[in-house]
């Protein structure tokens, strides 16, 4: 399985020099990609999600500048929080500057209070997400017109375009039927937090059905599972994920220790490859 590593972006965010070292150490230890999560405004003292949270695209830009090979993923950007054109522009710039390393994990979100604080309607977030994805893809193709319900422009575009023609791959998050259908319809991958073997088997059945309805299969489509795990839990989880045909595992370590982070990633690499 391919291995992603979550950077120390939240819970106890680290200073910039420590983040740079963590990104370099993870790359040197064999991680395939580095990841961040997305929340914008949270209650002070919140623990789930934790209230301390660096901006995801700022962190990925920081990591991009100190690495050369690893992918740069979002797990996941809450699409309705950002205007679709600004979202497309930010991801296009990061992809261009990093030489085509962005993995755009996207989803419609779940935290109603955060939507309210940002002045974004919680109801209808699914259709807004679908329209925003269509807008991003149009702009990344170089289109200069888009006519949606919430976004409309004519004779306008974004430059520079992403490094990769058509833009970064879209890894669609969401454990619900709606999220799975969105992944099958417009995604290059399904990115889930369901890691329990039985629950994941059921959700993969739903994914296969959704792909079939779109005339697709898992061939050329990525299944990615996010798991909060140390090496002990990873040793238990990894074989089950492989048996279910999971292509990519994103590990969010429960603790971060700068001095041993590279060793941790190296051991996780071994477990992902075993």
Pairwise CA distance, residues 16 & 35, whole Å: 16
What is the per-residue pLDDT for 213?
A: 98
Q: What is the pTM of this model?
A: 0.96
Straight-line distance from the first to the last Cα atom of the chain, in angstroms, rounded to the nearest whole number: 9
What is the per-residue pLDDT for 6?
A: 98
Domain boundaries, the chain: 2-273
SS3 259: helix
Phi, psi of 10 (to 5 degrees): -135, -175
Residues 6+ apart with CB under 8 A from 206: 177, 180
What is the per-residue pLDDT for 28?
A: 98
Nearest to 162 by CA among 74, 96, 89: 96
What is the per-residue pLDDT for 71?
A: 98
Pick the CATH number of 2-273 from 3.20.20.30, 3.90.1300.10, 3.20.20.105, 3.30.200.20: 3.20.20.30
The alpha helices in the chain, defined as continuous H runs, are 16-28, 56-66, 84-98, 112-118, 125-141, 177-186, 197-213, 231-243, 261-273
Question: Which regions in the chain score pLDDT beneath 50?
Answer: none
């Amino acid at each position: 399985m391919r291995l992603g590593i979550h950077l120390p972006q939240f819970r106890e965010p680290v200073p910039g020099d420590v983040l740079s070292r963590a990104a370099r150490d993870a790359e040197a230890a064999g991680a395939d990609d580095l990841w961040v999560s997305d929340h914008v405004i949270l209650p002070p003292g919140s623990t789930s999600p934790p209230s301390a949270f660096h901006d995801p695209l700022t962190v990925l830009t920081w990591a991009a500048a100190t690495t050369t090979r690893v992918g740069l993923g979002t797990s996941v950007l809450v699409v309705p929080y950002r205007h679709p054109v600004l979202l497309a522009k930010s991801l296009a710039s990061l992809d261009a500057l990093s030489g085509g390393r962005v993995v755009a994990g996207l989803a419609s979100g779940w935290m109603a209070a955060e939507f309210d604080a940002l002045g974004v309607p919680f109801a209808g977030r699914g259709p807004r997400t679908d329209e925003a994805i269509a807008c991003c893809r149009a702009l990344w193709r170089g289109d200069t017109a888009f006519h949606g319900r919430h976004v409309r422009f004519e004779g306008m575009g974004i430059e520079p375009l992403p490094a990769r023609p058509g833009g970064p791959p879209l890894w669609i998050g969401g454990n619900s039927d709606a999220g799975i259908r969105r992944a099958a319809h417009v995604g290059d991958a399904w990115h889930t937090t369901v890691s329990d073997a039985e629950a994941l088997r059921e959700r993969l059945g739903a994914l296969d059905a959704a792909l079939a309805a779109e005339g697709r299969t898992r061939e050329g489509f990525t299944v990615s599972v996010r798991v909060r795990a140390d090496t002990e839990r990873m040793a238990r989880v990894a074989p089950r994920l492989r048996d279910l045909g999971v292509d990519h595992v994103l590990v969010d370590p429960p603790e971060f220790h700068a001095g041993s982070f590279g060793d941790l990633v190296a051991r996780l690499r071994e477990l992902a490859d075993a």
